Chain A
């Protein structure tokens, strides 16, 4: 999934920019020729001799294999995360230069990782599926096909690791569960939950934005054809404008930010600081309360030193995180409605008070007290005609859910990594795999000792403030926050542990794991750490 730089763009957003959205020409890309080439790459100062092959598979998906001359016997088959399945003109924040659907093959999360793994003798393979968006089936099939192609090309491959990011992590795991004999180990990173669980999280936040801040947001039920495309683009603009208004209001008065002019909530509700409503949306959706900029703990020197971390920072974190969730919800809803033939998001029976749960107490101060919380929840109630709920198309939902759902039937050693403040695939998605696996073990459908989870958390505190007391957005995205935001060394640690497991058929020993992550202060292993599942599953 794209890493959207929201904060910098929001404030600059103007209606003029939105007009420009619809007038900028689409960019173009060239298509590469298929075949193999012997070449070199640089990994640091090391020159690595490789053979790089490209082609298309039976679904016409692009694939790529890279074999180092000094091969260590293990192939890493990578599945990339979700990409937009729609061309976008230039849209501030979302696609500043415009974007075309990206069909390119990917063999690892980054070029740096690619070079480092090749330098260590690993062969790499990966695809770019022909139909982008949420396409788990083709992603699994593409991984299997490129694996087969690589084996045919290079019979010296004797071990295979399936790995991937986000939706690609889910694909790697789905492949491992369905065809455990095809691979020797799996390494899902920032694994996504099911389509329904993910769209529920993003959709809840988007619905909340619409209901509390701007009813002009459509959110779901886009029209067919070109009209729907325009509706989706218009929605992106509306969402961005609304986010910009929220951000500006909080920036102007973080203690008691005003509600946007577009809101239709009663004046009594607007007496509650708007930041509390933003936080509430995050909590009921399951959006992380720590983000790239905001750690929900630090405060500027002065009168807000404590109260900023207590009452303001968590809301700003939700805004920073939720902005990306809302944008994704617009694009993903549009894509899924076309793909599955109807509305897939549904909150017709959602009990948001129950969703809030203990967070009502934990974040009582930031929510401006329990009375305010009760007032906001009452407004979001299904009995409030001013807050109409969304009912899905059951046929579309059934089609969405007809794809493989994780069972936790793990037979090959599996090492997953998940960040505690990932706002797109929260750690609860990894926890769901753990739960499914433990249930499978209990039911004798899987053997114990096959799953290791490595957690990635942000530093204890990291928000920086200017001398004027303003939060500073980091130039390097804070590790442990954002989506699939791992460092190269963290990814390599996971990859090497998975490769080791592929060779032995066992998870690495505790001491080996500790040694592998000893220089990674943000990684930890605690078999008892249990983050909450995505709200859809609670």
Chain B
């Protein structure tokens, strides 16, 4: 059947059907706090487990899990067991955005803890809408001072001192301890390195040479070419390596290859100065011996430290087969801060309540750091100071000159001050009881 139909002139008036009464409708609101039940608190972490950064920082989630399992075995937090869901982002910004989104939407976590990296986490923060979702973003492992901007990152608390703080304090240290030596800086050409460069400027350190390299670009050949060039600086220059551990290792190995180890006074920034990782990456023990490094923690090999000792014990039982080092120490410390934050937020756990608890009580949390915690209603940067030590051939970091000297400062133009800070004692058996 074929019927010809003539086109009727369409008029707007004839087409418009009176709109019926509009019914107000909304999708049902989420009834419960995501990731929290009567028996469980789900937390999430996106960090590198594989890839080049995984070698250096891949132990963080395992260390955190170990500590949480220890707490769970001792009753949990207000009767709730902590589950940490770990996703591998390989230290890649796009993958970090994907994994963090997965943690929020698929895994339905209550909060994020211990995310690692600046480029990775800044992309992830936006992509996963952490601000709009009001997801607590705890103890991020980066020193980028920009994360202290509560307008852009209203739910974020970093744990590391800022790179600017580190560079300022390092400036003072170099000027006092290596007077007359030229100083050369090798730093990552991104917000990590630029934060450092700004800190060195604020610390009024004169740099004879500044080399900025894009992440993942400092190949062995480039490192050798760079060191060959810097070796032309007269005398014994101070060479500051303000990058990740794999790059520190690459530079030191290049120096070994060129027989330039003794040419420089080596200083490794806190991000790239973990001795165990450097040794694992093939740096000779003899090369490490004498390298100056910055830290805000006790040395992970110092069994006389009550935090190190307690965490080592937990590590042996709950993280079997994993060597205890600075990375494990850092992971366990962040986990202990997390437990205290959860306790401080109370039994009626909410995202807003957790953020508020850290703001009001976070500065008093017990932790392994030898420098003060700086959390408040206006500060989201965690530790705010450094001390300097020298590595020995065993990879132990000993206070430079034999005496522990702690300095604190801010990320801006504030003074660099000697600190007499005494950290809180380790909670009995490493189990916080705060409220």
Contact = CB atoms under 8 A, between A and B. Distances in A.
Interface in B1-38: 1-5, 7-10, 12, 14-20, 22-28
A55 B190 CA distance: 61
Contacts of B16: 179, 181-182
B92 A296 contact: yes
Contacts of B132: 528, 530
A148 interface: yes
Contacts of A182: 15-17
Contact of B25 (A369, A507, A530): A507
A326 B111 CA distance: 42
A510 B28 contact: yes
Nearest to B106: A524
Given A37-B2, A306-B51, A369-B214, A362 B123 contact: yes
A305 B54 CA distance: 12
Interface stretch (A113-121, A392-400, A445-453): A445-453
Interface in B199-217: 212-217
Interface in B70-123: 90-95, 98-99, 101-102, 104-105, 118-119, 122-123
B94 A358 contact: no
Interface stretch (A241-249, A308-316, A378-386): A308-316
Interface string A270-298: 00000000000000000001100001110
A365 B18 contact: no
A450 B3 CA distance: 40
A38 B3 CA distance: 10
A83 B14 CA distance: 30
A314 B94 contact: yes
A362 B122 contact: yes
B129 A452 contact: no
Interface string A360-374: 011111011111100
Interface in A27-67: 34-38, 53, 55-58
A231 interface: no
Contact of A144 (B10, B102, B190): B10
User: Chain A, interface size: which category?
Assistant: 35 or more
Interface string A456-483: 0100110000000000000000000000
A289 to B, nearest CB: 7
A35 B15 contact: no
B156 to A, nearest CB: 14
A314 B94 CA distance: 9
Contact of B52 (A306, A363, A528): A306
B163 to A, nearest CB: 13
A363 B92 CA distance: 10
B151 interface: no
A436 interface: no
A506 interface: yes
Contacts of A524: 105
Contact of A510 (B12, B22, B27, B53): B27
Interface in A487-536: 505-507, 509-510, 513, 524, 526-530
B40 interface: no
Contacts of A152: 8
B306 interface: no
B5 A311 contact: no
Interface of B is mostly: loop
A269 interface: no
Interface in A332-354: none
B92 A460 contact: no
A364 B94 contact: no
Interface residues of B, number: 58
A526 B129 contact: yes
Nearest to B14: A148
Interface string B136-164: 00000000001000000000000000000
Contacts of B92: 296-297, 306, 309-310
Given A56-B7, A306-B51, A507-B25, A372 B214 contact: yes
A260 to B, nearest CB: 22
A153 interface: yes
A296 B94 contact: yes
Instruction: Tell which of A361, A413, A505, A509 has the most Cβ of chain B within 10 Å.
Output: A361
A295 B126 CA distance: 18
Contacts of B190: 361, 364-365, 369-370
B22 A38 contact: no
Contacts of A507: 25-27
A364 B189 contact: yes
Given A35-B3, A526-B129, A449 B119 contact: no
A507 B24 CA distance: 10
Given A35-B2, A55-B5, A181-B18, A506 B23 contact: yes
A147 B15 contact: yes
A505 B27 contact: no
B133 interface: yes
A180 interface: yes
B282 to A, nearest CB: 16
Contact of B26 (A149, A369, A448): A448
Interface in B168-219: 189-191, 194, 212-217
A36 B12 contact: no
A370 B8 CA distance: 63
A7 interface: no
A365 to B, nearest CB: 4
A480 to B, nearest CB: 11
B2 A363 contact: no
B112 to A, nearest CB: 15
Contacts of A526: 104-105, 129, 133
Interface of B: 1-5, 7-10, 12, 14-20, 22-28, 51-53, 90-95, 98-99, 101-102, 104-105, 118-119, 122-123, 126, 129, 132-133, 146, 189-191, 194, 212-217
Closest 6 CB pairs of A and B: A369-B189, A364-B190, A528-B132, A506-B25, A449-B26, A365-B215
23 contacts: A35-B3, A148-B8, A148-B14, A179-B12, A180-B19, A181-B17, A297-B94, A310-B91, A310-B215, A314-B94, A358-B122, A361-B190, A362-B119, A367-B214, A368-B189, A370-B194, A411-B19, A461-B98, A505-B20, A505-B22, A526-B104, A526-B133, A529-B129
